[in-house]
Structure 1
């Protein structure tokens, strides 16, 4: 099997496993009703589902919340983001989960205040996915244009090999090492087979 075929097979496996979490499937099915620009289901609810399956756990175990990224540069106000969150909460109110929506166009306005590091403006929701602290967690799914025929669209800018290997290393695109260390250790508390390589900062 060629390297391209192996990556394609791993991508199909990831999407299939992520959808074994019924909440992920529900969220993707309803996302189009929100009408949000450049909207993605991202991060923890996806890769943690995969780690749960690898660990023999329920697909929904240890998942604290479900994150949506969208990109709307037309209104960078906190009020507009809160209005979107209210719509999100209403749409998914029947599900026993917490769903949080963040406008990636305004992350740079609050990130340093919350986390203590400057953060350059993003250009898209995909750009936000690229900057998670741990490269193997940089994943997002977008609803298929035709759900009856197509799988959701996957964005995994750094591939999926490290996710399945359980390798946690800092992301050079967001090299905030104390934040990385805290995040990685919180993951390993829940999935002890993960490996942390905090000194691994490739150019």
Structure 2
């Protein structure tokens, strides 16, 4: 029971933190109202917003882009480009660049980009489960009542405690170390769990 109460408190805190970044929250609101399957805003922009609050950094500090994922079984590159354009147009001008990915297509280009093949995902949720760290394996959307829906397969403790822990489902030690090095420069207080 205490664990559930803590998780609920963490979700409420996360919602308040995200609301403070009006540019990011506008993106979350916009995509949550779109009729695109399994559409989420996730990864670095979410956890880094929490880190900024934890370590007294300005809103938006260190956020390189906003990851938007969805799952469409129509696998043509043309359809993905059309959907990306639709999402970008709905969002309009933003201070953040957007990284929009159809998780159903990732297996088609992953090996060329990262050097090894992966199985096709069956959902956005499955993809998020493999994201590189337990803290960055997180995605959000708003329900029809404006309540924050959080998909965080490893919980929110690492997010709120500033812990970087590898999620070895898919990444390599080299990729993990690169991400850690980049983040530590911006948020030196982070606690890193070695590979």
Q: Is 1:184 equivalent to 2:183 in the alignment?
A: no
Normalised by the length of structure 2, the TM-score is 0.93
CA–CA separation in structure 1 for the residues paired with 2:2 and 2:138: 23
Q: How does 1:1-203 map to 2 (within 5 A)?
A: 2-73=2-73, 75-147=74-146, 151-199=147-195
Quick check: 1:139–1:154 contact (8 Å CA) kept in 2? yes
1:102 counterpart SS class: strand
Contact 1:50 1:59 in 2 (8 A): no
Q: Distance in 2 between matches of 1:169 and 1:65?
A: 21
CA distance in 1 between counterparts of 2:194 and 2:110 reads 22
CA contact (8 A) 2:32 2:40 kept: no
Query: 2 CA distance for matches of 1:3 and 1:35?
Result: 33
Q: TM-score, normalised by structure 1?
A: 0.90
Query: In the aligned structure 2, how far is the partner of 1:106 from the partner of 1:163?
Result: 28
Paired with 1:140 and 1:160, the residues of 2 have a C-alpha distance of: 11
Measure the CA separation in 2 of the matches of 1:119 and 1:23. 33
Q: CA RMSD in A?
A: 1.5
1:155 to partner: Cα distance: 0.8
**Partner Cα distance (2:34, 2:78) in 1:** 17
Residue ranges of structure 1 left out of the alignment (5+ in a row): none
Deviation at 1:29, TM superposition (A): 1.7
CA distance in 1, matches of 2:161, 2:142: 26
SS in 2 for 1:67: strand
Cα separation, 2, equivalents of 1:127 and 1:61: 29
Q: Give the stretch that moved more between structures: 105-114 or 30-39.
A: 30-39
Q: Is the 8 A contact 2:32 2:143 kept in 1?
A: no
Unaligned runs of 5+ in 2: none
SS of the residue 2:20 aligns to = coil
Contact persistence 2:11–2:148 (CA under 8 A): no
> In 1, distance between residues paired with 2:29 and 2:161?
29
State how far apart, in whole Å, the 1-side matches of 2:193 and 2:57 are.
25
